[in-house]
Amino acid sequence: MNISELTIKEIEGLFAADNVSEDLINACRQDTRAATAKIIKRYERKQAEVARVLGMYRYEEGAAAEGCRIVAGVDEAGRGPLAGPVSVAAVILPEKLILPRINDSKKLSEKVRAELFDEIMSKAVSVRQVFIDERTIDRINILQATMNGMYEAVFALDPQPEKVLLDAVRLERLPMPSLSLIKGDAKSASIAAASIIAKVSRDRLMDEYDKQYPEYGFAEHKGYGTAAHIAAIKKYGPCAIHRLSFEPIRSMVGQ
């Protein structure tokens, strides 16, 4: 295949249309133009990312091999903060949906999380997101509150999943099979999608709380126990969305 008579724009058009063959790739590698080399590098990066994302469906593929084709991923955001709710999400993705850059939400920038949030919401088969408030967390503890939120999110999915993939937490009362994965948000595309929905939803809520309680800086730290946040609590006392059962707030209130 001889591409020397093609313009760079024409070559880019072939790649953009996914009209890519081994002959085209080999011809581009032999082409002496620097722009052609850049096209090949971009293509190889894209293919590597597709392969990475497809690799994140191995647990979903395992479920399909068991006869469970509708698989939900479940994750939470906000178990550790001193203020605000814990956010839980459950997501069912189409089989092998390619979502470039998808990963554990903590490994992504705010901008990328927001972009993936929109893409997941538009392309997912079903998404459910639940907040469990700080008073419930104080009453029943953060782990139980998180689990309750996970049950609620899973049961609200339509269609109901045939198997559920969870990040670390075990839900023994689910009526369908489930699998708990340590660091599942970096291993399963479905769990990663849920982690992004949970994280972005909670961050946006904390931004709204920042407008109600500007003295605490919630937009900056999202309720986590930074030095500035703890200093604000010592100065102003806890507000309505602080978790009174969490240290050091518990000791402050006790005093």
Distance (Å, whole) CA 34 – CA 31 = 8
Q: Residue 203's beta-bridge partner residues? A: none
Domain boundaries, the chain: 8-55, 58-201, 208-254
What does DSSP assign to residue 88? E
Locate 255 and state its tokens: 């005093």
Buried b (16+ CB within 10 A) or exposed e, 72-87: bbbbbbbeebbbbbbb
The pLDDT tens digits along the chain (255 residues) read 788 889 999 999 998 887 789 999 999 999 999 999 999 999 999 999 999 999 999 999 999 999 999 999 999 999 999 999 999 999 999 999 999 999 999 999 999 999 999 999 999 999 999 999 999 999 999 999 999 999 999 999 999 999 999 999 999 999 999 999 999 999 999 999 999 999 999 999 999 999 999 999 999 999 999 999 999 999 999 999 999 999 999 999 876
Q: Is the peptide bond before 177 cis (omega within 30 degrees of 0)?
A: no
Please say whether the beta carbons of 15 and 39 come within 8 A: yes
Question: Alpha-carbon distance 191 to 169, whole Å?
Answer: 12
Q: Which structure tokens are listed for 58? A: 């191995």
Residue 20 CB burial class (10 angstroms; 0-12, 13-18, ≥19)? middle
Tokens of residue 179, six digits = 């699998």
**58-201: CATH topology:** Nucleotidyltransferase; domain 5 (3.30.420)
pTM: 0.93
**What values do phi and psi take at 80, rounded to 5?**
-95, -20
The token duo for 106 is 């903590």
Gap between the Cα atoms of 68 and 179, Å rounded? 12
